[in-house]
Amino acid sequence: MPVYYLEIIVVVLGLVMLMADAFVKLEDKRNIAWFAVLVLSVVFLLLFKVSWPESTEGSPFWKFYDAEKGSRGFSLFFKGIAVLTTIIVLIMSAEFRGVLLKYTAKPEDGAHPQSGLSEFFTLPVFACAGLMWMASANNLASIFVSLEAVTITFYILVAYMRRNVGSLEAGVKYLILGALSTGFLVYGFTWLFGVTGTMDLAGIKEQLALDSVNVTAALFAFALIIVALGFKVGAAPFQNWIPDVYQGAPTPITAFLSVASKAAGFIVLLRISGCFFGSGDLSEKVGAVFVVLAILTLLFGNLAALPQTNFKRLLAYSSIAHAGFLLMALASPITLVADGKEPPLLDTSIGVIAFYLGAYLLMTLLAFLVMTAVRNQQEDDSLEGYAGLAKRSPFLAFSLLVSMASLAGVPLTAGFFGKFFVFKLAIQNGACGWLIAAGVIGAAAGFYYYFKVIASMFWNAPAEGNDGPIPVSMPAKVVMVLLIIAIFAVGIVPNLILGLIK
Amino acid sequence: MTFLFYIFAAIAVIGGIGVVVYKNPVSSAFAMILSFLGLAAIFIQLDAYLVGILQILVYAGAIMVLFLFIIMLMDVKEEEGKTFKFGAIVGAVLVVGGFTGALVKVLMESKIGNETIPALAEGGKSDVHEIGELLFSTYWFPIQIIGVLLLVATVGVILLSRKELK
C-alpha cells in the first residue's frame, strides 16, 4: 500500500467521527473513541506494510513528502509514535470523560449530558494526521502547514474545558506564545529561502554547503528557527509556557503534548539542523548553539522540578528535562564516516533521539494513565493525593513505580537505555565537558524527584476521606499492562525499538 | 520611486509604533490599519499587486473589522486608565532593540540589499493567474493540509464559543 494512504485513512477517520456524532444516535459516545482506536490500530499495523514509489521525479506531491531512501525508516518510526500516542490518548480521554464533562456540558442549561465529548475524541485524530505529515515533511512549506495544523488543534484541545479557569488560562497562554513562535518560524523560513533560493530541504542543504553561502544571514535564519522550534520542544530559555499549559490542559491532552508534539518538534529540528550540519563553517556554530541550549534545558528542567508539589507540574518540568537529554544527543556532533558507509544507528544523533523518544513515549504515557485514573477521584493533581496509593490501588501504584523508575533511568527499564545511549553518544563524539556535567547533574536530580513520588506512594498513609480504592476501566488497564511489559522488554532488549526503524 | 518607498515605509513604521503607544484600543486598531496600508503600498511598488490588494482587503478590511468588534465588547475606559509598568518598558526595549540590532548587523554584513534581484518575466500572465496556478498545481498538497487545518479550526471555534445545545 502506498505510504501516503496512511494519512488519508486517518483524515477520513476524523471526518467519519464528526459525521457519526452528528447523524448517529449513540447512547454512549465513547463508542466513537473505541471505533477510532480500532481504525488507528489497523493504521499502526499498516505502517509495516507500506510501499514506496520507484521514482519520484516530477511529481508535485513528492516534493513535499519525503521519500528519500535513508530517511524512510525514520519517517515511519515517527508516524508510528504519532499513531500509538493518539491511540493511548483516546483511551485516556475515555477514562477522563467524567472530569471533562464537568467543565464542558452544563446539564442545568439543558445540555446533552455528553455534550462536547465526541469532538474531544475527534480532534486528536486530526492532530495525528498532521503529526504524520510532519514526520515526512521535506519542504519548508509542508513543514509549516503541518506544524500549524497540529498546533491549532492543540490550541483548541488545551482550552477544551471551557468552564475551568485553569484550562482557559492555559489555552490563552499557549495561543499567544504559540502565535509568537510561529511568527519567528515563518520569518526564519523566509530568511532561509532568501539565502538559499529554495524551500526544499535537500536543496537547502546543497546550497548551505557551498563556499559562496552567506554565513551571517544563514545563521540569522537558524537563530529565528531555533527560537520557534525550541518553543515547540520546550527547550530553555523558551520553556516558560510549559508548566502552566501542561498543568491547565486536560490530562490526556497534556500527555499528547508532551509526547507526540515533542517528537514531531524533534524530527523537524533534526531535519532542519541536518541542513546546517552539512558545511564545516556553519556546523561548528550551530553545534555550539545546541550545546548551550542543552545545558540550559538540562539544568533548568531538572533543578526546577525538585520543589514541585503538583504531580502534573512535576511531569511538565520532567518533560523539559527530557527535552534537555534529547538536545544533548542533538548537540553531540555527528560522527563523520569515511567511504560513504552508513554509521551504526546508535552512533548518529537521529538514531539515539528516535530510541529515546520511543522509550519516553512508553513511560510518560503510563504515568499519565495513572494520573487520569487518580484524577477521577480527587479535585486536583497535587502530590498529596498520591500518598498511600499503594494501599488504595496496588496496581496503579506498581504502574507508577515502573514509570517513575524508567523516567529516572533505573537499569532494566527502557529509560535507562535512553539515557545510556545519549551519554555514550556524547562521550564518544567528544562533547564538551560542561554538557556531560550538566547531564550528570540532571540525571542525579531526576532520581530525587521521581523517587519522591514513589516514596510518597509507598510510605505515606492516604489522606483522610480520600482513601477508597480507585476504579480503572478495562481498556486502560490493558494498555497499562502492555506499557509495563514494553518498558521491561525494551529495558532488557533495546534492539526491540531499533529494529522498528530499519 | 525610492522616494515613495521611504514615505510608505515611514507610514508603516509610524502605524506600528502607534499600535503600541496608543492606550485607547480603537486608536491602536486604526494605527494598525495605517501600518497595513503602508505595507500594501510597498507590495504594490514591488509589482506584487495581488499581495498588496489582499493586504488591504483581508487585513485592513476583514480582520480589522473583527478586531473592532471585539474591542467594542471590552471596557475601553478601563484600558485607557492602564499605565505602562517600568519593567515591561525595559523588557520591551531590550527585546526590540536586541532584535533590531541583530537585524541591522546581519543586513550590513551580508550585503543582501546590494544586489538587484532579476525582475519577473515581462508580458506573461498576471500575478493572480501565476499564484493561482502554483497553488493548485505544484502546491496542491500543502493546500490540502490547510484544508484540514481550517476544518479543525471551525470545529474548535464552535466548540469553544457555542451556547449549550438543547
- Does the pLDDT value for residue B78 go beyond 80? no
B25 and B77 housed in the same domain: yes
B75 and B26 housed in the same domain: yes
Tell me the average pLDDT of chain A: 89
B109 and B136 housed in the same domain: no
Structural domain tally of chain A? 1
Confidence (pLDDT) at B123: 61
Q: With CB atoms and an 8 Å threshold, state whether B155 touches A123.
A: yes
B109 and B58 housed in the same domain: no
Q: With CB atoms and an 8 Å threshold, state whether B156 touches A155.
A: yes
In a domain, B140, yes or no: yes
In a domain, A336, yes or no: yes
What is the per-residue DSSP string for A390-428?
HHH-HHHHHHHHHHHHHHHT-TTSHHHHHHHHHHHHHHH
Tell me the average pLDDT of chain B: 85
In a domain, B78, yes or no: yes
In a domain, A372, yes or no: yes
CA distance A120 to chain B (A): 10
Cell of A173: 497562554
Confidence (pLDDT) at A460: 84
Q: Is the minimum CB–CB distance between B150 and chain A shorter than 8 Å?
A: no
Between A18, A115, A130, which is nearest B164 by CB? A115
Q: Is the minimum CB–CB distance between B145 and chain A shorter than 8 Å?
A: yes
Which parts of chain A register pLDDT below 70?
109-110, 279, 333-343, 502
Radius of gyration in angstroms for the set of CA atoms belonging to chain B, rounded to a whole number? 21
B34 and B63 housed in the same domain: yes
B21 and B94 housed in the same domain: no
Number of helices (H) and strands (E) in chain A: give both, helices first: 20, 0
In a domain, A178, yes or no: no
B40 and B29 housed in the same domain: yes
Structural domain tally of chain B? 3
- Does the pLDDT value for residue B120 go beyond 70? no
Confidence (pLDDT) at A488: 94
In a domain, B147, yes or no: yes
Residue owning grid cell 552508513: A342
Q: With CB atoms and an 8 Å threshold, state whether A60 touches B102.
A: no
> For residue range B46-62, what is the model confidence (pLDDT) as tens digits?
888 888 999 999 988 88
Q: With CB atoms and an 8 Å threshold, state whether A156 touches B159.
A: yes
Query: How far is it, in rounded angstroms, from Cα A38 to Cα A44?
Result: 10
Percent residues over pLDDT 70 in chain B: 87
> Which DSSP state fits A343?
P
In a domain, B121, yes or no: no
B54 and B108 housed in the same domain: no
> Is the Cβ–Cβ distance between A293 and A226 less than 8 Å?
yes
Predicted complex ipTM: 0.90
Q: With CB atoms and an 8 Å threshold, state whether A220 touches B106.
A: yes
B3 and B75 housed in the same domain: yes
Cell of A98: 467524567
In a domain, A133, yes or no: no
Residue owning grid cell 496556478: B133
Between A112, A119, A152, which is nearest B165 by CB? A112
> For residue range A345-395, what is the model confidence (pLDDT) as tens digits?
777 888 899 999 999 999 999 999 999 998 888 877 888 888 888 888 899
Confidence (pLDDT) at A384: 84
Question: Which amino acid, residue A209?
Answer: A
Query: Rounded to the nearest 5 degrees, what angle is found at the Cα of A363, between the Cα atoms of A359 and A364?
Result: 110
Between A64, A153, A159, which is nearest B152 by CB? A153
B44 and B22 housed in the same domain: yes
Question: Which amino acid, residue A30?
Answer: R
- Does the pLDDT value for residue B164 go beyond 80? no
What is the per-residue DSSP string for A136-162?
TB-BHHHHHHHHHHHHHHHHHHHT--T
User: Which residues lie closer than 8 Å to A73 by C-beta, 6 or more apart?
Assistant: A501, A502
Q: Which domain holds residue A419?
A: 306-502
> Is the Cβ–Cβ distance between A353 and A307 less than 8 Å?
no
In a domain, A80, yes or no: no
In a domain, A427, yes or no: yes
Which carries the bigger pLDDT value, residue B124 or residue B107? Answer: B107
B26 and B75 housed in the same domain: yes
In a domain, A486, yes or no: yes
Chain B hits for A133, Cβ within 8 Å: 145
In a domain, A431, yes or no: yes
B3 and B66 housed in the same domain: yes
Q: Which domain holds residue B103?
A: 85-113
Q: With CB atoms and an 8 Å threshold, state whether B142 touches A145.
A: yes
Query: How far is it, in rounded angstroms, from Cα A415 to Cα A362?
Result: 9
CA distance A424 to chain B (A): 37
pTM: 0.92
Chain A hits for B137, Cβ within 8 Å: 60
- CATH assignment of the domain containing B20: 1.20.120.1200
> Is the Cβ–Cβ distance between B164 and A115 less than 8 Å?
yes
Separation in Å, CA A457 to CA A129, A444, A449, A450, A466: 38, 21, 13, 11, 14
Confidence (pLDDT) at A341: 59
CA dihedral sign, ordered A210, A214, A215, A217: negative
Q: For residue A466, how far is the Cα from the chain centroid?
A: 32
Residue owning grid cell 501516503: A4
CA distance B164 to chain A (A): 5
Percent residues over pLDDT 90 in chain B: 36
Confidence (pLDDT) at A226: 94
